[in-house]
């Protein structure tokens, strides 16, 4: 009996030791899994740009205009701006944001503002200067994965590598007219004249080019005339563009909404003049129609095919439609035939109620932060220099 009792005790002791060791193993495994998870979280955090504390609720950036004075501001989600620069006479022609820095273009000079240091004390730093034949023409610029994309008047699309300081031709065609970088899918949408006019898509990774639409041409006497296509505005999901077409023997301009995912093209209201498509709604200015040589304008919002007039017919046009990221859409009323009679007034449209009201903040070059903008690229450019912009 004593032997049997001793054997049972030994078996029970061994079982307890095995369970204890197994438990330790599980605990160690759980600790290792938690450690790996924590490392992953740290890794994710280090891959995300950390802006200055005062910019924690920033949703985008813009150039604010008042009395022919200009400054760069951050746009808060509550609708209030925060100053990045002070008012001055320097008007930038293009603005973008990427990986903790604002990028700006003025004539043939490109600048950046680092937003990760210097609360309320930001420096405009020159990144590079590109020798352009024409420096006063309308500019376009976009920053994606460490490269500044830009174009010269009547030239190809170029890319400046911020890290290496080198510039290369991206799309070598006779003339890039308009372009827009879709940072969500990594593609560039652009119109070209070569010599005809086409709307195309360029994949930055594969360098593949796809034609989306093209304009026709015709012989007028002994000369071939090419119709135009213009890219008006683009966002992550849709593009608005216009296209000259023949209709009943006359040339007319039609506007289209192009859905990037489906490739579907939808013709917009024939009275459409300009606008923006946001959250499945079209905010736009339309002519009052009819045969008038100078028709009046109507400010509308179209949702699911239904129009709502937000400002009644009047003789002043609207420009600069922007999503401000705070539940409002900006539209600027403009009037006057020359510099002596010109004027403007900014309005904001509430996305939910469609109420419209005047505002003291008039913005241009509005850019809202997107998910790819938050990634750290660890770019260092030793050639950059801090500058003081002239007033």
pLDDT by 10s per residue, the chain, length 391: 444 444 444 444 445 444 444 444 444 445 444 444 444 444 444 478 888 888 988 999 999 999 889 999 999 999 889 999 999 999 999 999 999 999 999 999 999 999 998 777 899 999 999 988 776 566 789 999 999 999 988 789 999 999 999 999 999 887 898 999 999 999 999 999 888 899 999 999 999 999 999 998 888 888 888 899 999 999 999 999 999 998 887 888 999 999 999 999 999 998 999 999 999 999 999 998 666 667 889 999 999 989 999 998 888 889 999 999 999 999 999 988 777 888 889 999 999 999 999 998 899 999 999 999 988 876 665 455 555 444 4
Residue 31 CA to residue 175 CA, distance in Å, equals 60
pLDDT at 5: 45
CB 180 within 8 A of CB 187: no
Tokens of 186: 């990594």
pLDDT at 47: 79
CB atoms within 10 A of CB 36: 10
pLDDT at 230: 93
The answer to whether the predicted template modeling score (pTM) of the entire model surpasses 0.85 is no
Q: Which residue has the tokens 């999503």?
A: 323
Instruction: Check the CA dihedral 167-173-177-178 and report its sign.
Output: negative
pLDDT at 376: 82
SS (H, E, C) the chain: CHHHHHHHHHHHHHHHHHHHHHHHHHHHHHHHHHHHHHHHHHHHHHCECCCCHHHCCEEEEEEEEECCEEEEEEEECCCCEEECCCCECCCCCEEEEECCEEEEEECCEEEEEECCCCCCCCCEEEEEECCCCCCCCCCCEEEECCEEEEECCCCCEEEEECCCCCEEEEECCCEEEEEEEECCCCEEEEEEECCCEEEEEEECCCCCEEEEEECCEEEECCEEEECCEEEEEECCCEEEEEEEEEECCEEEEEEEEEECCCCCEEECCCCEEEEEEECCEEEEEEECCCCCCCCCEEEEEEECCEEEEEEEEECCEEEEEEECCCCEEEEEEEECCCCCCCEEEEEEEECCCCCEEECCCEEEEEEECCHHHHECCCCCCCCCEEECCCC
Phi-psi region of 151 (alpha: psi -120 to 50; beta: other; left: phi over 0): beta
């Amino acid at each position: 009996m004593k032997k049997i009792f001793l054997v049972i005790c030994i078996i029970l002791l061994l079982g307890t030791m095995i369970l204890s060791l197994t438990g330790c193993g599980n605990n160690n495994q759980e600790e290792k899994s938690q450690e790996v998870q924590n490392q992953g979280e740290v890794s994710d955090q280090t891959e995300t740009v950390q802006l200055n504390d005062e910019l924690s609720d920033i949703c985008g950036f813009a150039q604010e205009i008042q009395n022919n004075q200009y400054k760069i501001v951050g746009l808060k989600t509550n609708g209030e701006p925060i100053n990045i620069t002070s008012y001055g006479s320097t008007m930038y022609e293009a603005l973008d944001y990427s990986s903790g820095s604002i990028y700006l273009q003025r004539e043939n000079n490109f600048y950046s503002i680092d937003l990760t240091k210097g609360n309320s004390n930001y420096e405009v730093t020159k990144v590079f200067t590109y020798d352009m034949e024409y420096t006063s023409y309308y500019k376009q610029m976009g920053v994606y994965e460490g490269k500044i994309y830009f174009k010269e008047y009547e030239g190809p699309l170029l890319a400046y590598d911020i890290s290496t300081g080198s510039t290369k031709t991206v799309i070598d065609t006779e003339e890039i007219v308009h372009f827009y970088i879709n940072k969500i899918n990594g593609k560039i949408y652009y119109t070209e004249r070569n010599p005809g006019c086409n709307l195309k898509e360029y994949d930055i990774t594969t360098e593949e080019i796809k034609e989306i639409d093209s304009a026709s041409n015709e012989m007028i006497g002994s000369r071939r005339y090419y119709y135009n296509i213009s890219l008006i505005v683009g966002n992550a999901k849709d593009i608005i563009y216009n296209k000259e077409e023949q209709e009943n023997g006359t040339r007319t301009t039609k506007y289209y909404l192009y859905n990037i995912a489906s490739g579907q093209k939808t013709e917009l209201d024939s009275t459409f003049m300009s606008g923006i498509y946001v959250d499945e709604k079209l905010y736009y200015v339309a002519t009052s129609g009819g045969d008038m040589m100078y028709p009046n304008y109507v400010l509308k919002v179209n949702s699911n095919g239904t129009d709502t007039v937000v400002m009644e017919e009047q003789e002043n046009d609207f420009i600069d439609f922007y999503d401000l990221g705070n539940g409002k859409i900006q539209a600027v009323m403009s009037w006057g035939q020359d510099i002596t009679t010109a004027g403007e007034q900014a309005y904001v449209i509430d996305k939910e109620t469609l109420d419209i009201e005047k505002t003291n903040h008039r913005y241009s070059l509005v850019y809202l932060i997107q998910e790819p903008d938050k990634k750290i690229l660890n770019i260092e450019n030793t050639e950059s220099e801090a500058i003081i912009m002239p007033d």
